[in-house]
Structure 1
Amino acid sequence: MSFSVGVTALVGVTMDVPDLKAAPSFFAALGVDAVADDMQCSVHTAVQADCLTLRLASAGRRLRRLTFTALPSEVALIGARARAAGYAAIEARDASLLLIGPDGIESELVARDAPLAAADAPGSLILPHAPLHGEIETPRPLYLCHAAIFVSAMPEALDFYCGVLGLRVADRCDNELAFLHSPHGGDHHILALAQSSGPGLHHYSFEMGTIDAIGLRAAHLARQGYDAGWGMGRHVLGSNFFHYVRDPWGCHVELTTGLDQIAADTDRVPGDRRAEDAFYLWGPPPPADFIANAEAQPVEPALVTA
């Protein structure tokens, strides 16, 4: 079932990590701003504040919260839908809503008239000409655009993220993987769900604007010692170009651009795709542990792409 009321964009990810010592150097290499103290690190891009929040916790890495935007007129409607589905709000205000969804993962809704990054969406995927080496300024990530998470029960997760938050399925691979987009239009997915033995965060993804920006930032990261990852390549579902690196806590960070766009109120029929189409069209072979859920015990591979 689909709804015209629903969240518009993913604008934040919060996770627990066992230490914060490596945060400043990694995020400097990634090209985002980070403000850290002994207990927390907040990451900002030029147009997005708090797009990534790391909280110190002794138990290890754990996905805590996903933050979405919603139209001001729809926050209360989504809250009512959550109550009807049995999801009580931890906190409900006129301009925000905080719910606990499946697997104990929090979903925060923040009222905003339009997706924050709408005016910053990329145009051409390639630069009109290659700059001279002396003219190169390494591009910085524009904004957080999506995340891929592991879920312990796909049907329950779809009931919440689609039935409550109003997201719609763009494509899926049986009950192993689902790509979800906003009913208000935009990227092919702002959230991807992958079946696993437990919850977890597979990756968070930054829009880079051009293919050249991905390559230049990836090369810069490699020079700074962050060369473990996968890319460059192109995904099939979503059509986006990608390069992944590992953050200091073992999570994948995707540099991406070129996601398929889906119009608002589309009559698109979700595709049920073969597993081979859930991964990549071209690129180097991925690392052997790329699809492992490091947060689940025991760790089980899951089918993930984005």
Structure 2
Amino acid sequence: MGMDRREFIKWCSLLAVGSMLGGCRKLPFVGDAAKKDLPSLKMFEAEVRRAMSKPSRRMELVRVPMPGRLKTPGASLENRFGMAIDLDACDGCGKCILACIQENNIPLVTEDEAAKGRFMHWIEMRGGVPFMCAHCGNAPCERACPTGAANHTPDGLSAMMYKRCTGSRYCGANCPEHARKFNFNDAVQQGLSLKFNDKVPVRSKGVMEKCSLCLHRLQDDRLEVKAAGGVWRGRGVNTACAEACPKKAIVFGNWLDPDSPLVKVARRRDLYAPADLAGFDPSIVYMMGGK
């Protein structure tokens, strides 16, 4: 049976679409990534040990008050999330670093970068003290970002919109402690990435990244509480680093909630922050003495 003109055009269109889809499935990205051996957990553990073995500068800590309400327009009057790290309890074991890597799909780095002490870890040890982005209430990194990718949430998090990041690195340069990390590598292509957690996207080459205070956990909890019709204060949330600490030296919570475990423990302690961040109203502080 012959094929009329309309059927002929339809079949040609279907063949064209099919060839396009077939081409998509054969993109070099997929082929190259499939040829790479995925890294093992042991490789990440070894990198953490290597990072901790590198000499690091000590932080100068100064006394700061307990963080309060943010002064920025639109800030929440009920929530400001942060952490306090108990330096009397922390023994610098590094388990928080590994937990953060697994929770946030942080990639390995190349051998050359590792030799230079340049790791992607969002938490690092400085003089045996865990250090990460302090989520400053008046963050200098955010003011320097030309695209608005570095921004502040109403709940006190210094957040990143990766799709808006153009990799200018102005934010990293404007942070006095250089808490942000620039992603120099295509980690998937180079076999440096392992997706431990499906809830966190794997970042692309050419963007700045940093501690998110496990934002995805906060978002999940917010949706659950609001769906139930409650007032959200983040009381059911903890960060991966705090959960992993065997000494319970990292305490996460809501600085504006008097019933938060963070407030309950911090009000009895002396609070400190890195000297060059103290004037920027940090949400992550350190505790010593005063028990």
TM-score, with normalisation over the residues of structure 2? 0.26
Structure (1 or 2) with the greater helix fraction: 2
Higher RCO, Cα 8 Å, sep 6+: 2
Structure (1 or 2) with the greater strand fraction: 1
Larger radius of gyration: 2
TM-score, with normalisation over the residues of structure 1? 0.25
